[in-house]
């Protein structure tokens, strides 16, 4: 009796979800893990809903806290995630470790996504930038517009904030020292650290989370900072006197990987394909201050022009900056983090 009743309920539920016959519904779902919070909510509205409708499947959600999760899942032999969001560096690292499924050629050949945004087993979906933000009340007229200005403590006095990591800081130090954007890699670390040393005493806060970078700007603890554009723009929208420049921005992206051995690998591939299309990609900009990874998304007309101009992946903005070299950091992050930790404690 009770078994039959349970079956009935399950069938009814499946029917209500519009996923076709009750017998097949368990097959037709995938689990996606992303960063959670407002970020994942935007992804749900922009992408996951579309995937569910288009493929007639259910997208279950989970959250990840980084590459370690993926390693553990793959090592267990039966990953519970079919698709996972990671930073590009994480994707490249997992790919090099053999922890991801290679992507279909059809996905990697999707037009509009630049080569910097994909590897054999990963593809970017969402773009953000590391930019200069400054307090307009402190600098009402002339503002720091590039990293040379950021380093100029005579012309622009006041405390600054930078990320507590060698990543980004090595690059911007070299820019401040006059190295052109296309000659940064491989990084001359000694030169970078020497340049960083010049500004170290003016860096009041080495931020370690996005929230912290926004908070020190908002509280006036620092007058300028290098931080993720979304965080700074959120402050601007709240009415804080903060502005950003995409000049010399570092173009960064998050990406999809399919953990090695994922149960619904094929469905996951299909989901990536759907979410990488320009018109689907474009939707993300409607829900959060991050841009689509597919440049063709800007030609779909989905994104209003004024919104598009504020996105780091807008072709104009990309042209002002440069792509982070993920491969370099996969190689050097560990070593340089130790050096950097020593440097800030000196």
Q: Which residue, 9 or 208, is less far from another protein as judged by CB?
A: 208
Q: Minimal distance in Å, beta carbon 308 to another protein?
A: 33
Q: Which is nearest to 229 in space by CA: 193, 199, 194, 253?
A: 253
Q: Which is nearest to 233 in space by CA: 118, 327, 129, 335?
A: 129
Extract the tokens encoding 194.
């020497």
Q: At what angle do helices 189-199 and 166-176 cross, to 10 degrees?
A: 80
Q: Which residue, 94 or 282, is less far from another protein as judged by CB?
A: 94
Q: Which residue, 105 or 346, is less far from another protein as judged by CB?
A: 346
Q: Which residue, 164 or 320, is less far from another protein as judged by CB?
A: 164
Q: Minimal distance in Å, beta carbon 56 to another protein?
A: 36
Q: Minimal distance in Å, beta carbon 341 to another protein?
A: 4
Binding residues (CB under 8 A) for another protein: these are 66-68, 71, 90, 93, 159, 164-165, 204-208, 212, 216, 219-221, 333-334, 337-339, 341-342, 344-346
Distance CA 257, CA 184 (A): 28
Q: Which residue, 93 or 252, is less far from another protein as judged by CB?
A: 93
Q: Which residue, 109 or 345, is less far from another protein as judged by CB?
A: 345
Q: Contact 25/36 with Cβ under 8 angstroms?
A: no
Q: Minimal distance in Å, beta carbon 113 to another protein?
A: 26
Q: Minimal distance in Å, beta carbon 334 to another protein?
A: 5
3-state secondary structure 53-106: HHHCCEEEEEECCCHHHHHHHHHHCCCCCCEEEEEHHHHHHHHHHCCECCCCHH
Q: How many residues does the chain have?
A: 346
Q: Minimal distance in Å, beta carbon 190 to another protein?
A: 16
Q: Which residues contact 229 (CB under 8 A, 6 or more apart)?
A: 128, 129, 130, 131, 244, 246, 249, 289, 312
């Amino acid at each position: 009796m009770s078994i039959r009743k349970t079956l009935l309920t399950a069938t009814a539920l499946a029917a209500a979800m519009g996923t076709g016959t009750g017998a097949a519904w368990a097959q037709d779902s995938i689990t996606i893990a992303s960063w959670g919070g407002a970020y994942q909510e935007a992804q749900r509205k922009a992408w996951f809903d579309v995937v569910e409708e288009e493929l007639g499947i259910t997208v279950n959600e989970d959250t990840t806290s980084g590459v370690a999760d993926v390693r553990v899942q793959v090592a267990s032999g039966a990953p519970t995630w079919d698709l996972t969001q990671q930073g590009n560096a994480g994707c490249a690292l997992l790919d090099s470790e053999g922890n991801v499924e290679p992507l279909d050629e059809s996905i990697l050949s999707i037009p509009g996504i630049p080569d910097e945004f994909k590897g054999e087993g990963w593809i970017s979906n969402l773009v953000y930038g590391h930019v200069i933000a400054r307090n307009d009340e402190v600098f009402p007229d002339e503002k720091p517009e590039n990293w040379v200005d950021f380093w100029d403590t005579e012309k622009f006095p006041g405390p600054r904030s930078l990320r507590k990591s060698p990543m980004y800081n090595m690059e911007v130090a070299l820019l401040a020292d006059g190295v052109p954007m296309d000659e940064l890699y491989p990084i001359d670390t000694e030169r970078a650290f020497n340049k960083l040393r010049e500004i170290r005493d003016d860096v009041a806060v080495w931020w370690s989370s996005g929230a912290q970078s926004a908070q020190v700007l908002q509280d006036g603890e620092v007058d300028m900072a290098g931080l993720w554009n979304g965080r700074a723009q959120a402050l601007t929208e709240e009415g804080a006197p903060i502005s950003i420049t995409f000049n010399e921005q570092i173009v960064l992206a998050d990406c999809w990987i399919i953990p090695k051995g994922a149960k619904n690998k094929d469905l996951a591939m299909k989901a990536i394909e759907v979410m990488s299309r320009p018109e689907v990609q474009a939707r993300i900009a409607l829900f959060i201050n991050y841009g689509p990874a597919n440049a063709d998304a800007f030609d779909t007309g989905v994104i209003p022009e004024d919104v598009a101009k504020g996105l780091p992946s807008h072709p104009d903005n990309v042209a002002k900056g440069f792509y982070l070299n993920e491969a370099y950091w996969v190689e050097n992050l560990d070593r340089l983090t130790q050096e950097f930790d020593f440097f800030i404690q000196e």
